[in-house]
Structure 1
Amino acid sequence: MNPLTRIFGTALCALSAPLIVGCGGDSDKKIEVRIAPSRAVPPGGETVADWRRVATAADRARLRGWRQAWVVALGKVTSADGLAVLRADPSLFDPDRVLPTAAPPAGAYRCRVFKLGANGTAMRNLTTYPAVDCMVRDEGDVSSLYKVSGAQRPVGLIFPDSGSRAVFLGTMVLGDETKPLNYGQDANRDLAGYVERIGPRRWRLVLPQPRFESLLDVVEIVPKP
Protein backbone atom coordinates (compact mmCIF):
# COMPACT_ATOMS: atom_id res chain seq x y z
CA MET A 1 0.00 0.00 0.00
CA ASN A 2 1.27 3.48 -0.84
CA PRO A 3 2.03 5.18 2.50
CA LEU A 4 0.14 8.25 1.30
CA THR A 5 -3.03 6.15 1.33
CA ARG A 6 -2.57 5.76 5.08
CA ILE A 7 -1.91 9.48 5.53
CA PHE A 8 -4.54 11.09 3.35
CA GLY A 9 -7.03 8.30 2.79
CA THR A 10 -7.96 6.48 -0.39
CA ALA A 11 -7.68 8.70 -3.48
CA LEU A 12 -6.77 11.67 -1.27
CA CYS A 13 -10.32 11.95 0.03
CA ALA A 14 -11.18 14.50 2.71
CA LEU A 15 -11.20 11.88 5.45
CA SER A 16 -8.04 11.93 7.56
CA ALA A 17 -5.95 8.79 7.81
CA PRO A 18 -3.08 8.07 10.18
CA LEU A 19 0.64 8.19 9.70
CA ILE A 20 2.25 5.72 12.12
CA VAL A 21 5.71 6.58 13.44
CA GLY A 22 7.88 5.36 16.28
CA CYS A 23 7.90 7.03 19.66
CA GLY A 24 10.13 7.18 22.72
CA GLY A 25 13.04 5.30 21.19
CA ASP A 26 11.17 1.99 21.34
CA SER A 27 10.36 0.57 17.92
CA ASP A 28 7.45 -1.39 19.40
CA LYS A 29 5.70 1.79 20.53
CA LYS A 30 3.84 3.75 17.87
CA ILE A 31 1.98 7.01 17.69
CA GLU A 32 -0.49 8.17 15.07
CA VAL A 33 -0.46 11.49 13.27
CA ARG A 34 -3.60 12.28 11.32
CA ILE A 35 -3.21 14.90 8.62
CA ALA A 36 -6.15 15.60 6.33
CA PRO A 37 -6.55 17.92 3.36
CA SER A 38 -7.77 21.31 4.59
CA ARG A 39 -9.29 22.52 1.33
CA ALA A 40 -10.55 21.19 -1.96
CA VAL A 41 -8.41 21.15 -5.11
CA PRO A 42 -9.88 21.48 -8.61
CA PRO A 43 -10.00 18.22 -10.59
CA GLY A 44 -6.65 17.51 -12.16
CA GLY A 45 -4.83 19.76 -9.69
CA GLU A 46 -4.13 17.12 -7.07
CA THR A 47 -0.68 15.85 -6.21
CA VAL A 48 -0.22 13.28 -3.48
CA ALA A 49 2.43 15.39 -1.78
CA ASP A 50 0.94 18.86 -2.19
CA TRP A 51 1.46 20.58 1.16
CA ARG A 52 -0.72 23.50 0.04
CA ARG A 53 -3.74 21.22 0.07
CA VAL A 54 -2.93 20.06 3.60
CA ALA A 55 -1.81 23.24 5.40
CA THR A 56 -4.30 25.29 7.36
CA ALA A 57 -4.83 28.92 6.38
CA ALA A 58 -3.00 30.03 9.52
CA ASP A 59 0.01 27.88 8.69
CA ARG A 60 0.13 29.05 5.10
CA ALA A 61 0.29 32.60 6.49
CA ARG A 62 3.11 31.63 8.85
CA LEU A 63 5.07 30.13 5.99
CA ARG A 64 4.60 33.25 3.86
CA GLY A 65 5.94 35.37 6.72
CA TRP A 66 9.03 33.26 7.34
CA ARG A 67 11.59 35.94 6.43
CA GLN A 68 10.01 38.66 8.54
CA ALA A 69 9.96 36.25 11.48
CA TRP A 70 13.70 35.60 10.97
CA VAL A 71 14.51 39.33 10.86
CA VAL A 72 12.49 40.21 13.95
CA ALA A 73 13.74 37.24 15.96
CA LEU A 74 17.39 37.87 15.13
CA GLY A 75 16.97 41.55 16.01
CA LYS A 76 15.85 40.56 19.50
CA VAL A 77 19.16 38.85 20.22
CA THR A 78 21.32 41.65 21.63
CA SER A 79 23.15 40.16 24.62
CA ALA A 80 26.87 39.45 24.30
CA ASP A 81 26.33 35.74 24.95
CA GLY A 82 23.52 35.50 22.42
CA LEU A 83 25.41 37.35 19.72
CA ALA A 84 28.41 35.09 20.30
CA VAL A 85 26.23 32.04 19.61
CA LEU A 86 24.92 33.55 16.37
CA ARG A 87 28.38 34.58 15.16
CA ALA A 88 29.87 31.18 15.99
CA ASP A 89 27.53 29.41 13.55
CA PRO A 90 26.65 31.73 10.65
CA SER A 91 25.46 28.89 8.40
CA LEU A 92 22.79 27.84 10.89
CA PHE A 93 21.44 31.33 11.50
CA ASP A 94 21.68 32.81 8.00
CA PRO A 95 18.13 32.84 6.59
CA ASP A 96 19.49 32.77 3.02
CA ARG A 97 21.75 29.76 3.53
CA VAL A 98 20.07 27.02 1.47
CA LEU A 99 21.65 24.24 -0.61
CA PRO A 100 20.26 21.58 -2.95
CA THR A 101 18.75 18.38 -1.51
CA ALA A 102 16.45 19.98 1.03
CA ALA A 103 15.11 16.94 2.89
CA PRO A 104 17.40 14.69 4.96
CA PRO A 105 17.41 11.01 3.99
CA ALA A 106 15.82 8.42 6.25
CA GLY A 107 17.87 7.62 9.32
CA ALA A 108 18.73 8.47 12.92
CA TYR A 109 19.67 12.06 13.71
CA ARG A 110 20.50 14.43 16.53
CA CYS A 111 18.30 17.53 16.76
CA ARG A 112 19.20 20.67 18.68
CA VAL A 113 16.65 23.45 19.20
CA PHE A 114 17.45 27.17 19.31
CA LYS A 115 14.60 29.49 20.30
CA LEU A 116 15.05 33.04 19.01
CA GLY A 117 13.15 36.10 20.20
CA ALA A 118 11.29 35.80 23.46
CA ASN A 119 7.51 35.50 23.18
CA GLY A 120 6.59 36.73 26.65
CA THR A 121 8.67 37.55 29.71
CA ALA A 122 9.56 34.02 30.85
CA MET A 123 12.08 33.32 28.06
CA ARG A 124 15.38 34.82 26.98
CA ASN A 125 15.85 36.08 23.44
CA LEU A 126 18.12 33.15 22.68
CA THR A 127 17.64 29.80 24.38
CA THR A 128 19.62 26.72 23.36
CA TYR A 129 18.54 23.19 24.28
CA PRO A 130 20.75 20.07 24.33
CA ALA A 131 20.70 17.83 21.28
CA VAL A 132 18.31 14.86 21.44
CA ASP A 133 17.62 11.88 19.21
CA CYS A 134 15.23 12.31 16.31
CA MET A 135 14.21 10.17 13.36
CA VAL A 136 13.47 10.66 9.68
CA ARG A 137 11.50 7.91 7.96
CA ASP A 138 10.69 7.37 4.30
CA GLU A 139 6.90 7.44 3.87
CA GLY A 140 6.86 7.27 0.08
CA ASP A 141 6.31 10.66 -1.55
CA VAL A 142 6.91 12.39 1.79
CA SER A 143 9.08 11.77 4.85
CA SER A 144 8.20 11.82 8.53
CA LEU A 145 10.27 13.65 11.15
CA TYR A 146 9.92 13.38 14.90
CA LYS A 147 11.91 14.00 18.05
CA VAL A 148 12.30 10.90 20.19
CA SER A 149 12.62 12.64 23.56
CA GLY A 150 12.28 16.00 25.25
CA ALA A 151 9.50 18.03 26.84
CA GLN A 152 8.45 19.39 23.43
CA ARG A 153 8.49 16.88 20.58
CA PRO A 154 7.53 17.94 17.05
CA VAL A 155 6.14 15.14 14.89
CA GLY A 156 4.96 15.49 11.33
CA LEU A 157 5.61 15.20 7.61
CA ILE A 158 8.21 16.69 5.28
CA PHE A 159 6.66 17.61 1.92
CA PRO A 160 8.70 18.42 -1.21
CA ASP A 161 8.51 22.05 -2.28
CA SER A 162 11.58 23.01 -4.28
CA GLY A 163 15.08 21.68 -4.82
CA SER A 164 16.41 23.71 -1.91
CA ARG A 165 13.42 23.77 0.41
CA ALA A 166 10.88 21.33 1.85
CA VAL A 167 7.83 22.05 4.00
CA PHE A 168 7.21 20.53 7.43
CA LEU A 169 3.65 20.23 8.76
CA GLY A 170 2.88 18.55 12.05
CA THR A 171 1.94 18.93 15.68
CA MET A 172 3.67 19.31 19.03
CA VAL A 173 3.65 16.48 21.58
CA LEU A 174 4.16 17.73 25.15
CA GLY A 175 5.43 16.13 28.34
CA ASP A 176 4.44 12.50 28.83
CA GLU A 177 1.84 12.47 26.04
CA THR A 178 2.04 9.42 23.80
CA LYS A 179 -0.46 10.44 21.13
CA PRO A 180 -0.29 13.74 19.25
CA LEU A 181 -3.34 15.76 18.34
CA ASN A 182 -4.45 15.55 14.75
CA TYR A 183 -2.98 18.29 12.59
CA GLY A 184 -5.54 21.09 12.30
CA GLN A 185 -7.35 20.08 15.50
CA ASP A 186 -5.67 22.68 17.75
CA ALA A 187 -3.94 25.71 16.23
CA ASN A 188 -1.79 26.03 19.36
CA ARG A 189 -0.25 22.62 18.66
CA ASP A 190 0.04 22.90 14.86
CA LEU A 191 3.54 23.40 13.46
CA ALA A 192 4.63 24.67 10.06
CA GLY A 193 8.11 25.37 8.81
CA TYR A 194 10.78 24.86 6.21
CA VAL A 195 13.44 22.14 6.03
CA GLU A 196 16.70 23.20 4.37
CA ARG A 197 20.16 21.77 3.87
CA ILE A 198 22.86 24.15 5.08
CA GLY A 199 26.01 22.04 4.78
CA PRO A 200 27.40 18.58 4.08
CA ARG A 201 25.06 16.21 5.93
CA ARG A 202 23.60 19.09 7.91
CA TRP A 203 20.02 20.36 7.79
CA ARG A 204 17.75 22.68 9.73
CA LEU A 205 14.04 22.96 10.44
CA VAL A 206 12.89 26.56 10.70
CA LEU A 207 9.56 27.14 12.50
CA PRO A 208 8.35 30.75 12.18
CA GLN A 209 6.03 32.10 14.85
CA PRO A 210 5.51 29.00 16.99
CA ARG A 211 2.68 29.42 19.48
CA PHE A 212 4.81 29.22 22.62
CA GLU A 213 7.93 30.88 24.04
CA SER A 214 9.67 32.23 20.91
CA LEU A 215 9.26 34.11 17.65
CA LEU A 216 11.30 31.59 15.65
CA ASP A 217 12.64 28.11 16.34
CA VAL A 218 15.69 26.80 14.50
CA VAL A 219 16.27 23.04 14.80
CA GLU A 220 19.69 21.81 13.74
CA ILE A 221 19.50 18.28 12.24
CA VAL A 222 22.69 16.21 11.88
CA PRO A 223 23.22 12.46 11.50
CA LYS A 224 23.57 10.52 14.72
CA PRO A 225 27.17 9.34 15.22
Structure 2
Amino acid sequence: MAEDKYLTKLFCQGLSVPVPLGRVYRPADALSAPLFAGPYFVKDRSGAGSEGIFVDNLQSDWAGARRIVERFTNAGKDALVEAYCPGIDVTVPVIGHAPYSVLGYVTPRSDKLGSIVTEDLKLTDHLGYEMVDVDGMTEAIREDIDKIWTTAGPMDYFRVDYRIDFVTGQRRLLELNLCCYIGESGAITLAGEQHGFSKNDILAHVVEYSLKRQVGSRKHCQWVL
Protein backbone atom coordinates (compact mmCIF):
# COMPACT_ATOMS: atom_id res chain seq x y z
CA MET A 1 0.00 0.00 0.00
CA ALA A 2 3.00 2.30 0.30
CA GLU A 3 2.95 2.79 -3.47
CA ASP A 4 -0.15 1.09 -4.92
CA LYS A 5 -3.08 3.51 -4.94
CA TYR A 6 -5.52 0.94 -6.27
CA LEU A 7 -4.62 -1.61 -3.60
CA THR A 8 -5.14 1.14 -1.04
CA LYS A 9 -8.56 1.87 -2.55
CA LEU A 10 -9.63 -1.78 -2.27
CA PHE A 11 -8.27 -2.02 1.27
CA CYS A 12 -10.17 1.08 2.39
CA GLN A 13 -13.37 0.00 0.65
CA GLY A 14 -13.22 -3.17 2.72
CA LEU A 15 -13.09 -1.01 5.85
CA SER A 16 -16.03 1.18 4.70
CA VAL A 17 -13.71 4.19 4.42
CA PRO A 18 -14.97 6.46 1.59
CA VAL A 19 -12.81 6.51 -1.56
CA PRO A 20 -13.36 7.82 -5.11
CA LEU A 21 -14.73 5.46 -7.74
CA GLY A 22 -11.83 4.17 -9.80
CA ARG A 23 -10.62 1.79 -12.48
CA VAL A 24 -7.14 0.58 -13.43
CA TYR A 25 -5.94 0.45 -17.05
CA ARG A 26 -2.90 -1.72 -17.76
CA PRO A 27 -0.74 -1.33 -20.88
CA ALA A 28 -2.40 -4.31 -22.60
CA ASP A 29 -6.00 -3.35 -21.68
CA ALA A 30 -8.64 -2.13 -24.11
CA LEU A 31 -9.42 1.48 -23.27
CA SER A 32 -13.17 1.28 -22.83
CA ALA A 33 -14.87 3.94 -20.72
CA PRO A 34 -15.28 3.27 -16.99
CA LEU A 35 -18.72 2.58 -15.58
CA PHE A 36 -18.83 5.90 -13.74
CA ALA A 37 -19.32 9.36 -15.19
CA GLY A 38 -16.77 12.15 -15.45
CA PRO A 39 -15.14 14.46 -14.80
CA TYR A 40 -12.15 12.15 -14.47
CA PHE A 41 -8.77 12.41 -12.81
CA VAL A 42 -5.99 10.21 -14.21
CA LYS A 43 -2.79 9.30 -12.38
CA ASP A 44 -0.06 6.70 -12.13
CA ARG A 45 -1.30 3.73 -10.14
CA SER A 46 2.05 3.55 -8.35
CA GLY A 47 3.29 7.13 -8.52
CA ALA A 48 4.72 9.17 -5.66
CA GLY A 49 5.49 12.84 -5.17
CA SER A 50 2.79 13.83 -7.71
CA GLU A 51 5.01 12.42 -10.46
CA GLY A 52 3.18 12.59 -13.78
CA ILE A 53 0.47 14.90 -12.42
CA PHE A 54 -0.26 17.93 -14.60
CA VAL A 55 -3.27 20.20 -14.98
CA ASP A 56 -4.53 18.17 -17.95
CA ASN A 57 -4.80 15.03 -15.81
CA LEU A 58 -8.22 16.45 -14.95
CA GLN A 59 -10.56 15.84 -17.89
CA SER A 60 -14.28 16.50 -18.27
CA ASP A 61 -15.01 13.51 -20.53
CA TRP A 62 -13.69 10.07 -21.42
CA ALA A 63 -12.19 11.17 -24.75
CA GLY A 64 -9.85 13.52 -22.92
CA ALA A 65 -9.19 11.11 -20.06
CA ARG A 66 -8.31 8.35 -22.52
CA ARG A 67 -5.50 10.47 -23.95
CA ILE A 68 -4.00 10.85 -20.48
CA VAL A 69 -4.41 7.12 -19.81
CA GLU A 70 -2.43 6.44 -22.98
CA ARG A 71 0.32 8.75 -21.74
CA PHE A 72 0.86 6.33 -18.86
CA THR A 73 0.19 3.01 -20.59
CA ASN A 74 2.43 3.89 -23.56
CA ALA A 75 5.21 4.34 -21.00
CA GLY A 76 4.53 0.86 -19.64
CA LYS A 77 2.70 2.07 -16.53
CA ASP A 78 -0.70 1.22 -15.09
CA ALA A 79 -3.06 4.21 -15.09
CA LEU A 80 -5.65 4.78 -12.38
CA VAL A 81 -8.76 6.68 -13.48
CA GLU A 82 -10.87 8.10 -10.68
CA ALA A 83 -14.05 10.11 -10.48
CA TYR A 84 -12.82 13.64 -9.82
CA CYS A 85 -13.52 14.83 -6.29
CA PRO A 86 -14.11 18.57 -5.86
CA GLY A 87 -12.45 20.30 -2.94
CA ILE A 88 -8.88 20.45 -1.69
CA ASP A 89 -6.21 17.95 -0.67
CA VAL A 90 -5.91 17.44 3.08
CA THR A 91 -3.15 15.27 4.48
CA VAL A 92 -3.23 13.81 7.99
CA PRO A 93 0.17 12.88 9.49
CA VAL A 94 0.10 10.10 12.09
CA ILE A 95 2.90 8.76 14.29
CA GLY A 96 2.98 5.51 16.22
CA HIS A 97 2.50 6.19 19.93
CA ALA A 98 0.39 4.22 22.41
CA PRO A 99 -1.05 3.30 19.96
CA TYR A 100 -0.85 6.35 17.64
CA SER A 101 -1.16 10.13 17.56
CA VAL A 102 -2.79 12.27 14.87
CA LEU A 103 -0.58 15.34 14.49
CA GLY A 104 -3.10 17.51 12.67
CA TYR A 105 -4.65 18.41 9.33
CA VAL A 106 -2.55 20.03 6.62
CA THR A 107 -3.33 21.23 3.11
CA PRO A 108 -0.75 21.73 0.37
CA ARG A 109 -1.32 25.10 -1.30
CA SER A 110 -2.19 24.99 -5.00
CA ASP A 111 -2.87 27.66 -7.61
CA LYS A 112 -3.85 25.10 -10.26
CA LEU A 113 -7.21 24.24 -11.80
CA GLY A 114 -9.25 22.18 -9.37
CA SER A 115 -6.69 22.82 -6.60
CA ILE A 116 -4.62 19.98 -8.04
CA VAL A 117 -1.18 19.40 -6.53
CA THR A 118 0.93 18.99 -9.65
CA GLU A 119 4.41 17.59 -10.12
CA ASP A 120 6.02 21.03 -10.30
CA LEU A 121 4.37 22.12 -7.05
CA LYS A 122 5.70 19.03 -5.27
CA LEU A 123 9.19 19.40 -6.74
CA THR A 124 9.70 23.08 -5.90
CA ASP A 125 7.32 23.28 -2.93
CA HIS A 126 7.25 27.04 -3.48
CA LEU A 127 3.67 27.49 -2.23
CA GLY A 128 4.18 25.33 0.85
CA TYR A 129 1.61 23.97 3.29
CA GLU A 130 -0.79 25.33 5.86
CA MET A 131 -2.85 23.93 8.70
CA VAL A 132 -6.55 23.56 7.96
CA ASP A 133 -9.65 23.27 10.14
CA VAL A 134 -11.60 20.16 9.11
CA ASP A 135 -14.71 21.47 10.87
CA GLY A 136 -17.10 18.68 11.82
CA MET A 137 -15.15 15.92 10.07
CA THR A 138 -12.57 15.35 12.81
CA GLU A 139 -14.41 12.43 14.39
CA ALA A 140 -15.08 10.71 11.04
CA ILE A 141 -11.44 11.07 9.95
CA ARG A 142 -10.20 9.71 13.26
CA GLU A 143 -12.57 6.75 12.86
CA ASP A 144 -11.05 6.12 9.41
CA ILE A 145 -7.55 6.18 10.87
CA ASP A 146 -8.54 3.89 13.72
CA LYS A 147 -9.88 1.33 11.22
CA ILE A 148 -6.66 1.53 9.21
CA TRP A 149 -4.46 1.23 12.28
CA THR A 150 -6.46 -1.64 13.76
CA THR A 151 -6.25 -3.58 10.50
CA ALA A 152 -2.77 -2.72 9.18
CA GLY A 153 -0.88 -1.43 12.22
CA PRO A 154 1.32 -0.97 14.03
CA MET A 155 3.16 1.51 11.79
CA ASP A 156 6.04 3.78 12.75
CA TYR A 157 4.51 6.76 10.97
CA PHE A 158 2.30 7.39 7.98
CA ARG A 159 0.18 9.97 6.23
CA VAL A 160 -3.44 9.70 5.11
CA ASP A 161 -4.26 11.84 2.07
CA TYR A 162 -7.84 12.97 1.55
CA ARG A 163 -9.78 15.06 -0.90
CA ILE A 164 -12.29 17.10 1.12
CA ASP A 165 -15.16 19.21 -0.17
CA PHE A 166 -15.98 21.64 2.61
CA VAL A 167 -19.14 22.77 0.80
CA THR A 168 -20.80 19.34 0.82
CA GLY A 169 -18.87 17.87 3.75
CA GLN A 170 -17.72 14.91 1.65
CA ARG A 171 -14.33 13.32 2.21
CA ARG A 172 -12.61 10.77 -0.01
CA LEU A 173 -9.42 8.97 0.95
CA LEU A 174 -6.94 9.07 -1.94
CA GLU A 175 -3.92 7.20 -0.63
CA LEU A 176 -1.87 6.04 2.33
CA ASN A 177 1.76 7.06 2.41
CA LEU A 178 3.71 4.70 4.66
CA CYS A 179 7.17 6.12 3.97
CA CYS A 180 6.49 9.81 3.49
CA TYR A 181 8.89 12.73 3.49
CA ILE A 182 10.00 14.21 6.81
CA GLY A 183 11.72 17.50 6.06
CA GLU A 184 11.85 21.13 7.11
CA SER A 185 9.04 22.16 4.76
CA GLY A 186 6.91 19.02 4.81
CA ALA A 187 3.42 18.42 6.17
CA ILE A 188 4.61 16.21 9.03
CA THR A 189 7.02 18.82 10.35
CA LEU A 190 4.42 21.60 10.10
CA ALA A 191 1.84 19.51 11.97
CA GLY A 192 4.40 18.51 14.60
CA GLU A 193 5.29 22.15 15.23
CA GLN A 194 1.73 22.74 16.43
CA HIS A 195 2.59 20.43 19.37
CA GLY A 196 6.01 21.94 19.99
CA PHE A 197 7.90 19.17 18.15
CA SER A 198 10.83 19.91 15.87
CA LYS A 199 11.72 17.84 12.82
CA ASN A 200 14.48 16.18 14.84
CA ASP A 201 12.03 15.40 17.65
CA ILE A 202 9.75 13.61 15.19
CA LEU A 203 12.61 11.70 13.57
CA ALA A 204 13.93 10.61 16.97
CA HIS A 205 10.47 9.48 18.06
CA VAL A 206 9.88 7.48 14.86
CA VAL A 207 13.24 5.70 15.19
CA GLU A 208 12.77 4.97 18.90
CA TYR A 209 9.21 3.73 18.41
CA SER A 210 10.29 1.52 15.51
CA LEU A 211 13.15 -0.06 17.44
CA LYS A 212 10.97 -0.77 20.47
CA ARG A 213 8.24 -2.19 18.23
CA GLN A 214 10.64 -4.61 16.56
CA VAL A 215 12.50 -5.89 19.63
CA GLY A 216 10.38 -9.01 19.97
CA SER A 217 9.77 -9.65 16.29
CA ARG A 218 13.07 -11.39 15.45
CA LYS A 219 14.63 -12.77 18.59
CA HIS A 220 17.66 -14.12 16.74
CA CYS A 221 18.46 -10.56 15.57
CA GLN A 222 18.02 -8.72 18.86
CA TRP A 223 21.70 -7.89 18.93
CA VAL A 224 21.08 -5.58 15.95
CA LEU A 225 18.66 -3.51 18.01
- TM beyond 0.5: no
Q: Which has the larger radius of gyration?
A: 2
Q: Which structure: greater helix fraction?
A: 2
